[in-house]
Amino acid sequence: MVTGDVNIIAEIKCNKPINSGFKFGSAQRNGIIKDIQGLLEGKTKVNFDPESAYKFLVIYDFGEHTLKATEHLINNIPSEYRGKVELYTYQTQLTLDKVYVVFIK
């Protein structure tokens, strides 16, 4: 969490898609969705107002499989989070009501 003129909260994940495939396993998927929920709605163990912070889900990039698995997850996310999670690009206009997925190496 970073606070100041601009507030940022991030979850960092290191989930490699199962069996070198293009999907996350069910436990991985559930954990990622739980983190998305925490970013959007807040968490009891972190004192922050989710409505006042930019939210990022940072995923370690294991290559093409990671991107495909993340796209699959976003396309099949539970309905309450549909439209609230998107891949970040340099052209993305950030808003406080979404979670932006960023890949790192």
Mean pLDDT of the chain: 92
At 47-94, the pLDDT tens digits run 778 889 999 999 999 988 999 999 999 999 999 999 999 999 999 999
Count the helices and strands in the chain (H runs, E runs): 2, 4
| CA dist., res. 52 & res. 104, Å (int) | 24
What does the pLDDT read at residue 71?
95
**What's the predicted TM-score (pTM) here?**
0.92
Helix (H) / strand (E) containing 1: none
What does the pLDDT read at residue 70?
95
More confident residue, 45 or 59: 59
